[in-house]
Amino acid sequence: MKPPSVPALVAGLGLVFALAVPASAEDLMQIYREAVRADPAIAAAKSSWEATQEKAPQALAGLLPLVSATVSANVNNYDATIKTDPQTDINRNFNQAIGVISASQPLFRYQNQVLYDQAKQQVTQADYVLSVAQQDLIVRVAVAYFDVLLAQYNIELAESQKKAVVEQLAQAKRNFEVGVATITDTNEAQAKYDAIVAQEILTRNEYDNRVTALRAIIGRVPRDLKRLGVGFQPEPPEPNVADYWVDRALKENLNVRIAEANLEIAKLEVDRAKGGHYPTLDLVASYTAQGANAAVTSTVGSNQRQAVLGLQLNVPIYQGGFVNSRVREAIALLEKSRQDLEGARRAALFQAQTGFTGVASAAASVRAFEQAVVSAESALASNILGQEVGVRTFLDVLQVQQNVYSTRRDLAQAYFQYLVGALRLKFAIGTLSDTDVENINRRLRD
């Protein structure tokens, strides 16, 4: 078997992804836009955001006038017998109509004012919740996209490895037939081939699973996907200081902001519960008009008008301990919100720290694996040459060949870990956006 040249192998590797893909291949931005339109999770988040926007006008209604009108019309039949001497019988039919317009304007309702302040906090919080869903979608799409590429590349590696082992197996059989090698070489090559066939089956199954995962996001089977182009060199995070990312995450992480909003809402809930002890004062007014062509006691029609304007004061005195219980409950939930905020901050710190080290480590791993691929290819070429001159066995070549493919796979995985890690680091500080998707997308090639 003629050993391939190291430069040819490295050039063929490219960045291990830039293989020929049909011109109709989809890129990351296309898949992401499709996900924005079709992903159920983001659709649900948008609907939830729209619903939350209505909390403010609903709460504001408790501070605005309430006006109502009631109109009734009745047909009356009055039939009575009065036991006098002589007996008196009364039978009368008459019509009656009543119209009432009433209005009230809250002048002091502390609980309603606090409820409105809570609603405004919830509306602001909803923006953060939607942003979390949008940024999470970017990460999910990127992970699914690159998982498919990695699974596809693993299939290609398995096919290449199988082809190389087939050549080794054929050569081992020829050498055995002419008596220059033992049956051991043939058996070892056959065993390696069988193992690769089994691994290829697993790899294809993994590819199907990854495609299914991407399909679950965009709602259809994706076409061929564009791959990472040649010339991409991962760089460490900028700035390359962990404290910078941790500090930003503690202040700007979206889950931290959601927890901060929850804390403010919980504080207001304590105030609202205490407001159950406060009196309420309303300005009330009503206008009543009624008319009838007779009455129970008269055959004469009548028309009446009445207007009322006044203040209505309601002072709670005793409500069975309900308000005090509500206050205790709200205080306990306030403490829970404080602990949730602390948990969110610690989680943000963890995400930023691990995200930073993950990106820096992946960038370093790419450079290390690139060199490892070169070294592995060189070792393979040397072992093939050594086999030809009799200083290396088939097993030696097969083991080194296995190392070549394993290193290629590790390199591919390191590239994808870097790209996804960079997105997750941006997510940790709440700044992940479509621009970051576009930046990665520009590195993809047909």
As averages over each run of 10 residues, the pLDDT of the chain (446 residues) reads: 38 43 79 96 97 97 97 89 80 90 97 97 97 97 96 92 80 74 75 87 96 96 91 90 96 97 98 97 96 82 93 95 96 98 97 96 94 92 84 78 89 94 97 96 88
Task: Quick: pLDDT tens for 279-309.
Answer: 999 999 999 999 988 887 777 888 999 999 9
Residue 332 counted as domain residue: yes
CATH of residue 351: 1.20.1600.10
Please tell me the chain's helix, strand, coil percentages from 3-state DSSP, rounded to the nearest 5.
65, 15, 20
The DSSP bridge partners found for residue 158 are none
**What is the spatial distance between Cα 148 and Cα 225, in angstroms, rounded to a whole number?**
8
Contact call for residues 352 and 245 (beta carbons, < 8 A): yes
In terms of residue numbers, what domain contains 35?
A: 6-64+109-277+321-445
Q: Helix, strand or coil for residue 427?
A: helix
**What is the spatial distance between Cα 413 and Cα 16, in angstroms, rounded to a whole number?**
10
Q: What is the pLDDT of residue 210?
A: 97
Which residue is listed with tokens 């290396």? 392
**What is the spatial distance between Cα 262 and Cα 267, in angstroms, rounded to a whole number?**
9
Contact call for residues 120 and 249 (beta carbons, < 8 A): no
Q: What is the pTM of this model?
A: 0.85
Q: What is the pLDDT of residue 168?
A: 72
Q: What is the pLDDT of residue 43?
A: 96
Residue 356 counted as domain residue: yes
Residue 410 counted as domain residue: yes
Residue 197 counted as domain residue: yes
Residue 311 counted as domain residue: no
Q: What is the pLDDT of residue 8?
A: 37
Residue 376 counted as domain residue: yes
Contact call for residues 254 and 69 (beta carbons, < 8 A): no
The DSSP bridge partners found for residue 283 are 105, 311
* Phi, psi (degrees; rounded to nearest 5) at 395: -65, -40
**What is the spatial distance between Cα 292 and Cα 21, in angstroms, rounded to a whole number?**
88
Residue 403 counted as domain residue: yes
Q: What is the pLDDT of residue 180?
A: 63
Distance (Å) of CA 6 to CA 13, 66, 413: 10, 84, 22
Domains contained in the chain, number:
1
**Is the bond preceding residue 86 a cis peptide, omega within 30 degrees?**
yes
Residue 260 counted as domain residue: yes
